[in-house]
Structure 1
Amino acid sequence: MIRLVGILVGLGFTLVVLLAFVTGAYTAATDDAAETADHVFHLAPKEDVSYAFEGPVGHWDIAQLQRGYKVYKEVCSACHSLNLVAFRNLAGLGYSEAQIKAEAASWQVPGIDPDTGENVSRPGEPTDYFPSPYPNDVAAKAANGGKAPPDLSLITKAREEGTHYVHSLLTGYRDPATFALSNGESLTEEFPDYEVPPGTYFNPYFPALAIGMPPPLTSAGQVTYDDGMDASIDQMATDVSAFLTWTAEPMLIKRKQTGWPVLGFLLLATLLAWFAKKQVWAPVKPRKD
């Protein structure tokens, strides 16, 4: 009798769980999810900027990469590291050996005093990697509201539409009180209670609409280009986006250049195989049933 009661109780419990699961699944499948501000007003990266390295026959614009490096050095390096890139890699931007040595020496990198063994800072050498602006992750988090700024070495590979994402993000800071989509939808009209969280900045190209990084490019002429190019905010964002694409994929152009001979070889091999097949099977006549 006790065993029968236990079986009935178990079956009843199972039916209740199954009913709750089916009901929840049906509700989730049929009910419309409540729209949120970040769902409606989050924008995909703009693609209105063209880069020389795009397309099957793209190439690096060396002048642009050098300008982008200067933007990184004078603006982005205050918070963001580039720890997968060594100073010697700057040879890919057209710098000579002497220029690379001078550039490396203009940076302070962590070192060790050979006499005392204490941690010190010393001028960089071509074999050194770009230093982090913070001594460790704890210091980076403490200086940035609890979240360390990401390393930028591979940032364009880590984000969808990476190059355009970086450009859009840098130029995308807006006032939420006046922000509206191209179709006229206003953020404040659709979501009157929306507020930017304290310590963050409104940017519709960031997934949560609010980003902890203050606008890094604040005014034209913030960086003085050596080649005399007008340093507008859009130009600086374009140049540093191109530079970060190079840091993430320094072999991008060489890979494209290698691809064309490979495609040509495959085409030739296909033609040779087709002619060989015709030659081998030429004496063989089709059977008539």
Structure 2
Amino acid sequence: MWAQLGGEPAAVARTEDAVANGVPVKLYWPEGEGPHPVLIWIHGGGWVLGSAAASDATARDLSRLAGYLVVSVDYRLAPEHPFPAAVEDVMAVAKWVSGEIGALGGDITRTAVGGDSAGGNLSAVLANELPGTFTLQALVYPATDLTHPFPSYEENGEGLMLTKDALAWFQGHYLGEDVDPKDPRVSPLHADAATLAAAPPALVITAGYDPLRDEGEAYAQRLREAGVAVEQVRYEGQIHGFFSMPAAIPEAREAIDRVASALRRARA
């Protein structure tokens, strides 16, 4: 279904499967001579579902439109591998990129991170854990506070793709019983002000009918208050997941173009 909704895969110069410090990744090279700026892309799926293969269309689009060497991460999934496995895996990939990507045609001085939903959560966590590493964090309807204290959690919690029950199911698998949902590596909205002040510039995309809408926008506001440059855009009529559906939803194509534009500015 996701492959069909993602549309015809965009052409890139080449792709390759690799292993980054023990973590499977898929690499996408843009056309033209390098060294290319690098994007670590982290897929969504509630930390339980999804894969680099399922986000192939998005990775291809961003590589072609932004001119980035995309490193799409196949992090370990819950419940077999609960928190902090996914965080450990994206950290391992970032460290691999810093040491190895130059030999593959990437420019380590121009590295961005991004992802959708759970991938947006992991992208924000990675940006906070590795200050000074990234030129941009592109967060597409990210989960930022797993206590979900915001009105959109109730307003949009039924019948709109992602539901309250589904969120509880995903989070139960990811966190188990002993993890504090306010741990900043789980809920980046709870990071301290000094950590957020060291974060890279951010693009935060939210959807009007998404239960995660308010926490994504609250995170954008906290980053602004910490002095970080933030572009925050709400797609009013959209639901959680729309970014992966450009073949069916015109605004998804607009949102992909917006991310690509932010990446092009960040590579300058």
TM-score range with shorter-chain normalisation? under 0.3
Which structure features the higher share of strand residues? 2
Larger Rg computed on CA atoms: 1
Query: Which structure dedicates a bigger proportion of its chain to helix?
Result: 1
What is the TM-score of this pair, normalised by structure 2?
Answer: 0.21
